[in-house]
Structure 1
Amino acid sequence: MDVLINVFVALHIIGIAALLGGFLTQMKAMGAGTARFVPAMLHGALTMLVTGVALVGLNQADDHPVNNIKIGVKLAVLVVILALVYIKRDEEKVEKGVFAAVGGLTVANIFIATLWT
């Protein structure tokens, strides 16, 4: 079971990398006001959602302790990210504030995952 959990952790990290990487590639365009949500950002967020849910289930099935409050906060942040990216995914230009919010929430989610013990 530990190997399966580690595989899902790796996939979860790949999802966050796609989301954050998509944001970082558009930083210059954000300064110019032409940033847009690239497909990698949506796919990364969806990957995070699916693998995160799987990780909670696998950890609970393996009798590992799960901090449900932390998971709930991370899920709420991810739902906001997903909503923003999904709604604005087809627009040629995304407002700077919305785009910056997605980047900030992504970084916040990383810090919640790593610093909240």
Structure 2
Amino acid sequence: MDVVIKIFVALHIIGIAALLGGFLAQMKSLRTGEGRMTPGMLHGAFTMLATGIILVGLNQADGGDLNHIKIGIKTAVLVVILGLVYVKRDEEKVPSGLLGAVAGLTTFNIFLATIWT
């Protein structure tokens, strides 16, 4: 079971990388106001949600002690991120502040995962 959990943790990190990487790849576009929500960002957010749900189930099945408040907050933040990316996915340009909000919320979620024990 430990190997399966580690595989899904790796997939979860790949989702984070796709979401945050989509923002970081557009840093130059942000200055000109031509940033957009890329398909990779949307796929990364969906990957994070799916693997996160699977990880909760696997950890619970393995008898792990889960912090349900932490999981609930992380899920709520991710749902907001996913909603922003999904709604703006077809627009040619999105405000730089919106892309910054997605990056900030993603970073916040990373800190929640790593610092809150």
TM-score normalised over the length of structure 1: 0.98
SS class of match (1:90): coil
5 Å matches for 1:25-40? Answer: 25-40=25-40
Root-mean-square deviation over aligned CA pairs: 0.6
User: Is 1:10 the equivalent of 2:3?
Assistant: no
Which runs of 5 or more residues in structure 2 are unaligned? none
Which one-letter code corresponds to 1:64 in the other structure? G
Which runs of 5 or more residues in structure 1 are unaligned? none
Once the two structures are superposed, residues 49-91 of structure 1 have per-residue CA deviations (whole angstroms, 9 ceiling, x without a partner) of 0000000000000100111000001000000000000000000
5 Å matches for 1:1-117? Answer: 1-117=1-117
Provide the C-alpha distance between the structure 2 equivalents of 1:99 and 1:17, rounded to a whole number of angstroms: 15
Shift of 1:26: 1.0
Provide the C-alpha distance between the structure 2 equivalents of 1:113 and 1:105, rounded to a whole number of angstroms: 12
Provide the C-alpha distance between the structure 2 equivalents of 1:36 and 1:112, rounded to a whole number of angstroms: 26
* 4+ long deviations beyond 4 Å: none
Which one-letter code corresponds to 1:95 in the other structure? P
TM-score normalised over the length of structure 2: 0.98
Which one-letter code corresponds to 1:17 in the other structure? A
